Amino acid sequence: SQKIEQNSEALNIQEGKTATLTCNYTNYSPAYLQWYRQDPGRGPVFLLLIRENEKEKRKERLKVTFDTTLKQSLFHITASQPADSATYLCALDVGGGGNKLTFGTGTQLKVEL
């Protein structure tokens, strides 16, 4: 069956360090993968999209990698700040047209002073 796995345990890191979140998937062949941020009681906010033929994408302090052989994406936040504390969701297109997304359960990141 199809699965998207993100570390369900919260990730606690110190301010200024790099946070690395993992998204693994099985039985998917996504054309692209997306990362979203979700704050408590709010809708997700789009961060980055990476296509299957791209290895890496950057946006300010964010970096995403996409390894279609390993079926894994890594999401990095460099120079992390307490304001980066949130739940981060990865999402895959499910194919078949329509651009529907399937979301992982998310990883909660806490950046401490």
Partner 1 sequence: GAVVSQHPSRVICKSGTSVKIECRSLDFQATTMFWYRQFPKQSLMLMATSNEGSKATYEQGVEKDKFLINHASLTLSTLTVTSAHPEDSSFYICSARITGTSGATYEQYFGPGTRLTVT
CB-nearer residue toward partner 1: 1 or 41: 41
Compute the least distance from the CB of residue 52 to partner 1, in Å: 12
Neighbours of 17 (CB within 10 A): 13
Compute the least distance from the CB of residue 103 to partner 1, in Å: 5
Compute the least distance from the CB of residue 32 to partner 1, in Å: 6
CA–CA separation, 52 vs 76, rounded Å? 18
Per CB under 8 A, residues contacting partner 1 are 32, 34, 36, 41-46, 49, 89, 93, 98-106
CB-nearer residue toward partner 1: 26 or 105: 105
DSSP string, the chain: --EEEE--S-EEEETTSPEEEEEEEES---SEEEEEEE-TTS--EEEEEEETT-SEEEETTEEEEEETTTTEEEEEESS--GGG-EEEEEEEE-SSSTT-EEE---EEEEEE-
CB-nearer residue toward partner 1: 43 or 83: 43
CB-nearer residue toward partner 1: 28 or 103: 103
Compute the least distance from the CB of residue 93 to partner 1, in Å: 7
